[in-house]
Amino acid sequence: AQTVTQSQPEMSVQEAETVTLSCTYDTSENNYYLFWYKQPPSRQMILVIRQEAYKQQNATENRFSVNFQKAAKSFSLKISDSQLGDTAMYFCALGGGSQGNLIFGKGTKLSVKP
């Protein structure tokens, strides 16, 4: 079975600082995708970043980057220069292979403090 674990229920960071959110996963698939979603207080689920497992290069989207460690089955999200608007719940998700759906972690609630 595929699983996704986010071990940090809550985190906080000062504005302009850098924060890293952790995610580990387990899968027997060779081809899969990993995602980070953001859910701000508005509750809209927003795709932040995507990583294909076959790519060694870590994905980057502006201030958001990932550290993908395939052997360790780790997929952390780094947010640089944190902004107040980054305050949200962040979900790690695993997809691909034989399944059509995504497997979501339980989320990490991030608070950015002024």
Q: Which residues bind other proteins (CB under 8 A)?
A: 32-33, 35, 43-47, 50, 91, 95-97, 99-102, 104, 106-107
CB of 51 to other proteins, least distance (A): 11
| Tokens describing residue 34 | 């990993």
Q: How far apart are the first and last CA of the chain?
A: 41
Name residue 88's amino acid: A
Name residue 65's amino acid: S
CB of 32 to other proteins, least distance (A): 7
CB of 106 to other proteins, least distance (A): 5
Instruction: Using DSSP, state whether 84 is helix, strand or coil.
Output: helix
Please, which residue, 48 or 82, has the CB nearer to other proteins? 48
